[in-house]
Structure 1
Amino acid sequence: MRVALFVPCYVDQLYPRVGMATLDLLERLGCDVDFPAAQTCCGQPMLNSGCDTDAAPLAERFLEIFADYDAIVAPSGSCVSMVKNHYEHIVHGDPRYEKLRTKIFELCEFLVDVLKVDSLPGNFPYVVGLHSSCHGLRELRLASDSERNTCEFNKPQQLLQMIEGVQLAELKRQDECCGFGGTFAVAEEAVSCTMGRDRIADHLQAGTQVLTAGDMSCLMHLAGLIQRDKHPIRVMHIAEILAGYEVPQ
């Protein structure tokens, strides 16, 4: 399978280890991975701020770069959801879009639904707290949520349980927002930080040693609060855990 690796701009600039972990994991699972060097931001920050016209050129550029691949995989639920669910009204009926939106996947979604991964090597002897990001949960349906009366499922959790030594933290509220919300964290700083600290308190009571998620944006927000408040929790993107990377010190 010819897979294009889409690395979100903030991951590329601030957390390159997450991009490398995603690449290592996909190649280990037999994918022929290409990283299109011309890729740019997907336009999510602009669209979230109501600047649709500023996001449009980036959406058109995304179609130009990624349209011919068998699959597009990204370690970010929010960026994948941007392309899959929010491009339609800004690409103006581009015929490439309907096909492309069926080929873009968040990493865990791709591993579970496309590659059908049923085992992973490695040992990670830590209590892992899984944060379910809002975009991944409620727009990509990576897991069941408390708002709907549906059968329980959780694709990231399913993958973590394949790793020897992982003990999942039992949170009181599995699917509550961390408070980041992109520009919301800037416009409503106090509310955003309060929500983040509330999530961290849940992880502390559950004994979380390593906090993980499929969205580095959520983890960036939570990591900042953890460091500021000097809590003994490490933060890792799920790609790093699945790829067998060491816990950062």
Structure 2
Amino acid sequence: MTRNVALFVTCLVDIMRPRIGFAAIRALEAAGCEVVVPQGQTCCGQPALNSGDRDHAVALAKQTIAALEPYEAIVVPSGSCAGTIRCHYPELFEQDATWLPRAQAVAAKTFEVMAYLDEVCGWKPDGVRLPATATYHDSCSGLRELGIKAQPRRLLNAIDGLSMSPLSGAETCCGFGGTFCVKYPAISNAIVGEKAAAIDATGANLLLAGDLGCLMNMAGKLHRDGSKVRAFHAIELIAGMGDGPAIGEEA
């Protein structure tokens, strides 16, 4: 059965790491999905929402809902953006009788990409090989809002040659926190410093996660500390694109 899905690319992926979007499309198509990238999408409104700018968050949410509601399912390569749409949009419109049902309908069919591939499609990567050792960081929003923990690991375990090394404190925040790292840089740097040390201690040569913001924060700290660990969004490996430039290595 062909599933028709809309890919919500996210701002960071679009601007900083488009290959994550292409990897998501490749994996979804391999799982039998027909993928559309709606042209009307922009920011989901998460930065405004986290900063207390409710008016702009509502405006962006309305624009996003209108762009995504025609589709059977919405798939997002980010636990934080998927969590915003799925968990927080209905909260934004709980006093709005017109927009609440629209927000609830879009929320109900929004999925993080790896959860969608694993839970809905029942798919695993076939013929993907990458001899490497990786460790995995569980991003806060994906883990706590959407319950994303086992799904990416099941997909990664199907990659031939890839071994997984457990990360101490895998569920501990990396210090990014959206605008938190801008408002409180010293605290953020201390948190990511502890995370980087734990990543190096695994002996892995790859760092994986499901949110680009977290990956950029951790990859930046690892690079500043002289670490050789390379960072990728997990969907890149799952889609067979783990042989390209790591985050921070793009020309």
TM-score class normalised by the smaller sequence: over 0.9
Partner deviation per Cα, 1:6-35 (whole Å, 9 max, x = no partner): 000111011111111111111122111000
3-state secondary structure, aligned to 2:108: coil
Code of the aligned partner of 1:221 = N
Does 2:15 match 1:13? yes
Does 2:158 match 1:156? no
Gaps of 5+ in 1: 144-153
Equivalent in the alignment of 2:129 = 123
Does 2:53 match 1:51? yes
Code of the aligned partner of 1:107 = V
Quote the Cα distance in structure 2 between the aligned partners of 1:120 and 1:22.
15
Equivalent in the alignment of 2:102 = 96
Partner deviation per Cα, 1:69-122 (whole Å, 9 max, x = no partner): 111001000000001111123232422222211100001110111001145321
Equivalent in the alignment of 1:228 = 224
Residue pairs, 1:229-244, within 5 angstroms: 229-244=225-240
Does 2:181 match 1:185? yes
Q: Which runs of 4+ in 1 moved over 4 A?
A: none
Quote the Cα distance in structure 2 between the aligned partners of 1:118 and 1:137.
21
Report the alpha carbon displacement of residue 247 of structure 1 after superposing the two structures with TM: 4.2
More displaced 10-residue stretch of structure 1: 223-232 or 206-215: 223-232
Equivalent of 1:142 in 144, 148, 173? 148
The answer to whether the 8 Å contact 1:216/1:237 transfers is: yes
The answer to whether the 8 Å contact 2:139/2:214 transfers is: yes
Quote the Cα distance in structure 1 between the aligned partners of 2:71 and 2:28.
15
3-state secondary structure, aligned to 1:166: strand
Residue pairs, 1:54-73, within 5 angstroms: 54-73=56-75
Equivalent of 2:32 in 30, 33, 39? 30
Code of the aligned partner of 1:183 = T
Report the alpha carbon displacement of residue 186 of structure 1 after superposing the two structures with TM: 0.8
Equivalent of 1:112 in 112, 118, 127? 118
Normalization by structure 1: what TM-score? 0.93
Quote the Cα distance in structure 2 between the aligned partners of 1:56 and 1:75.
22
Code of the aligned partner of 2:92 = I
Relative to structure 1, the CA distance from residue 23 to residue 119 in structure 2 (aligned partners, 3 Å threshold; closer, same or farther) is: closer
Equivalent in the alignment of 2:200 = 204
Quote the Cα distance in structure 2 between the aligned partners of 1:65 and 1:119.
30
Normalization by structure 2: what TM-score? 0.92
Equivalent in the alignment of 1:173 = 169
Code of the aligned partner of 2:218 = L
Q: Give aligned pairs, total.
A: 239
Gaps of 5+ in 2: none
Quote the Cα distance in structure 2 between the aligned partners of 1:101 and 1:44.
14
Equivalent in the alignment of 1:148 = none
Code of the aligned partner of 2:70 = D
Amino-acid identity (%): 40
More displaced 10-residue stretch of structure 1: 186-195 or 70-79: 186-195
Report the alpha carbon displacement of residue 158 of structure 1 after superposing the two structures with TM: 1.0
Report the alpha carbon displacement of residue 208 of structure 1 after superposing the two structures with TM: 1.5
The answer to whether the 8 Å contact 1:236/1:247 transfers is: no
Quote the Cα distance in structure 2 between the aligned partners of 1:238 and 1:33.
19
Quote the Cα distance in structure 1 between the aligned partners of 2:12 and 2:223.
19
